[in-house]
Amino acid sequence: MVPKDLRYTKDHEWVRVEDGQARVGITDHAQKSLGDIVYVELPPLGTAVKKGERVAAVESVKAVGEVFAPLSGKIVAVNEAITKNPGLINRDPYGQGWLFLLAVADPKENEGLLSPEAYEELLKGGG
């Protein structure tokens, strides 16, 4: 089930925008595809990122998944808990398994994100 209060990317990241900041993680679909997550590489605080740029990596026992910035902005927080316990992403991808928080540079970029309905359609199409 895809949470209805989030926006999504075609690369299977989720975004929750509140007060000009975007909390970002990987979707349930992405964590299931990767399998048991054993390592997370997070971006340094203060890093300026552009939409579509690789900003993090999630490593499982069978693959490495790259995480791309869904919006342009500046990294203002990272989830230190997942560096110590990467399995949080598997257990709670939309809650405790978030990756980073960024200050959004251009709110208009939000319009390019997928609605929950559009993301569900992407998944049905094998995306």
Boundaries of every domain in the chain: 7-121
- Cα distance between residue 104 and residue 117, in whole Å: 23
pLDDT range class, residue 1, cuts 50, 70, 90: confident
What pTM value is reported for the model? Answer: 0.95
CATH number for region 7-121 = 2.40.50.100
- Cα distance between residue 33 and residue 12, in whole Å: 10
The arithmetic mean of pLDDT across residues 18-29, rounded, is 96
SS3 104: strand
pLDDT range class, residue 12, cuts 50, 70, 90: very high
